[in-house]
C-alpha cells in the first residue's frame, strides 16, 4: 500500500512539473517574469550557464549606470504562450511586450529572437544599433543570449553609458569538452555493464549445470552404501550356495 501511494505521489509530481510550463504559456511568460525580474530566459532549450552569466553581468553593469534594461530571450513559440503568432516578428513582439510590462512607466526593453534583436522605449540610435546585431548561425538559446549581450553593450554606448564587454569564460568549448567526456564515460559504462552481464550469465549457467549434475549423480556416500549392500547380498547368497552344496554332498 505504501509503495502504491509513493508511486502515485511521484506520478502526480511529474505531471505537475510537466504542466508548469504549459500553465505559464497560457499567458505571456516574458511579461509575467519581467514584471519582477530583469531577464527572461527560455524554458527549452535552456541557456548554458556561461552565456547566461555574461548577459546578466552586462545587464547589471548597465543598470548601475542608470538604465534598467529589461531583456527577453525568446527561442521558440512556447515562450510566447497565448501569442505564438508573434514568434520571429521581433519588432511587433517588442512593442507588444513593452506595453505589457509598462504599468507606472515605460520600461526600456530588448528582445532576442532567431529573426533578430528588437527594442522598445529606447532612443532611435540605440534601437538601430541593437537591430544591427547579427544572430549566430546556430540560432539556439545560447546564440540568442550572446547576441543580446552584444546588443546590451552597443545600447549602452549609444545612450552614452558605455560598459565593458563581459569576459567570455569559454563556456562553449568547455561544454563541448564536457560533453565528449560524458560520452566516453557512457561508452565505458556500457562496456563494463556488458562484461558484468556476460560474467553473470556464465556464473548462473555454471551453477545451473552443477545443480543438474548433483541431481543426476548420487553422492559418494550413497554410492558406497549401495556397493556395501550389494556386496553383503552377494556374500549372503554365496554362503547359502555353499551350505546347499555341503548338504548335497552329505
Position 233 scores a pLDDT of: 73
Question: What pLDDT does residue 33 have?
Answer: 94
Contact at 8 Å (CB) between 36 and 67?
Answer: no
Low-confidence ranges of the chain (pLDDT < 50): 1-26, 171-185, 187, 216-217
- CATH number belonging to the domain at 22-169, selected among 3.10.310.50, 3.40.50.150, 3.30.300.130, 1.10.260.40: 3.10.310.50
What is the pLDDT, as a whole number, of residue 96? 95
Cα distances (angstroms) measured from residue 5 to each of 8, 12, 17, 18, 19: 5, 11, 18, 20, 21
To which residue does cell 543426476 refer? 216
| Torsion angle of the four alpha carbons 114, 182, 19, 3, in this order, in degrees rounded to the nearest 10 | 180
| The CA-based dihedral angle spanning residues 47, 49, 53, 56, taken in that order and rounded to the nearest 10 degrees | 30
Domain boundaries, the chain: 22-169, 175-249
∠ CA 39-45-50, nearest 5°, is: 60
Q: What is the DSSP letter of 66?
A: T
- 70 forms bridges with which residues in the sheet? 109
Amino acid at each position: 500500500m505504501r509503495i502504491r501511494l509513493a508511486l502515485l505521489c511521484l506520478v502526480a509530481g511529474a505531471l505537475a512539473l510537466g504542466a508548469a510550463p504549459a500553465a505559464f504559456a497560457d499567458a505571456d511568460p516574458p511579461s509575467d517574469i519581467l514584471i519582477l525580474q530583469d531577464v527572461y530566459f527560455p524554458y527549452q532549450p535552456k541557456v548554458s550557464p556561461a552565456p547566461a552569466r555574461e548577459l546578466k553581468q552586462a545587464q547589471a553593469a548597465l543598470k548601475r549606470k542608470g538604465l534598467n534594461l529589461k531583456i527577453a530571450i525568446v527561442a521558440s513559440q512556447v515562450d510566447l504562450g497565448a501569442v505564438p503568432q508573434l514568434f520571429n516578428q521581433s519588432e511587433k513582439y517588442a512593442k507588444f511586450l513593452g506595453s505589457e510590462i509598462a504599468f507606472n512607466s515605460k520600461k526600456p526593453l530588448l528582445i532576442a529572437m532567431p529573426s533578430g534583436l528588437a527594442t522598445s522605449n529606447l532612443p532611435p540610435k540605440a534601437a538601430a544599433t541593437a537591430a544591427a546585431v547579427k544572430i549566430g548561425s546556430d540560432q539556439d538559446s545560447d546564440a540568442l543570449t550572446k547576441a543580446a549581450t552584444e546588443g546590451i553593450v552597443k545600447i549602452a554606448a549609444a545612450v552614452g553609458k558605455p560598459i565593458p564587454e563581459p569576459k567570455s569564460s569559454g563556456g562553449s568549448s568547455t561544454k563541448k569538452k564536457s560533453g565528449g567526456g560524458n560520452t566516453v564515460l557512457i561508452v565505458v559504462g556500457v562496456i563494463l555493464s556488458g562484461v558484468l552481464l556476460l560474467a553473470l550469465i556464465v556464473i548462473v549457467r555454471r551453477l545451473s549445470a552443477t545443480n543438474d549434475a548433483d541431481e543426476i549423480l548420487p553422492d559418494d556416500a550413497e554410492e558406497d552404501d549401495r556397493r556395501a549392500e550389494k556386496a553383503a547380498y552377494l556374500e549372503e547368497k554365496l554362503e547359502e550356495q555353499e551350505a546347499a552344496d555341503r548338504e548335497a554332498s552329505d
